């Protein structure tokens, strides 16, 4: 290989079409912009959502809803997943290490989904009323 023989890979370079350069180019005169109107002018265009002066759709519709920014720090764990984990004591670090909750999670709550047969002690983790009853029924506890 020599420096003067290096070439770009096939397909890496694209032919840039030159518009508005005469009849012979096949794309002269209006250069693919059609005749007259705002879109044919240099610098003539509109912002996203502009509807020619009519009230745009996103402004006609009412504002609705709210998405909390703190939701990403909350996590839920089911009784079934605690059963599969099989640990006697469960805390936040155990759940993060097992991949049951995301690393960003700050608040974890056990929900009453599925069944549990082993006694599990929860440290620093909340539980719904139904989940707490199910845990205590098999000898577990919520601290």
* pLDDT tens digits, 79-88: 999 999 988 9
Average pLDDT, the chain: 93
User: What pLDDT does 143 receive?
Assistant: 83
Residues 37 and 83 in one domain: no
Residue 45 clears pLDDT 90, i.e. is over it: no
What are the CA-CA distances from residue 13 to residues 7, 16, 33, 72 (Å)? 10, 9, 25, 43
Check if the beta carbon of residue 50 is closer than 8 Å to that of residue 44: no
Two tokens, residue 117 = 């047969």
Domain that holds residue 99: 71-142
**Residue 136 belongs to a domain:** yes
Residue whose entry in the numeric block shows the structure tokens 């009453």: 112
**Residue 4 belongs to a domain:** no
* Average pLDDT estimate for 31-54: 92
Residues 38 and 101 in one domain: no
Residues 132 and 78 in one domain: yes
Number of domains in the chain: 2
pTM, to two decimals? 0.55
Residues 79 and 42 in one domain: no
């Amino acid at each position: 290989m020599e420096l003067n023989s290096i070439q770009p890979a096939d397909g890496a370079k694209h032919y840039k079409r030159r518009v508005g350069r005469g009849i012979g180019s096949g794309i002269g005169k209006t250069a693919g912009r059609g005749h007259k109107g705002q879109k044919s002018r240099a610098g003539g265009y509109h912002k996203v959502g502009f509807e020619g002066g009519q009230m745009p759709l996103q402004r006609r519709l009412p504002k609705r809803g709210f998405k909390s920014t703190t939701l990403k720090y909350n996590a839920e764990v089911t009784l079934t997943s605690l059963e599969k984990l099989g640990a006697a004591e469960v805390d936040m670090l155990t759940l993060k290490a097992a991949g049951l909750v995301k690393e960003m999670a700050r608040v974890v709550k056990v929900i009453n989904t599925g069944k549990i047969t082993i006694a599990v002690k929860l440290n620093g983790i909340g539980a719904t009323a139904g989940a707490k009853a199910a845990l205590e029924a098999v000898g577990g506890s919520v601290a």
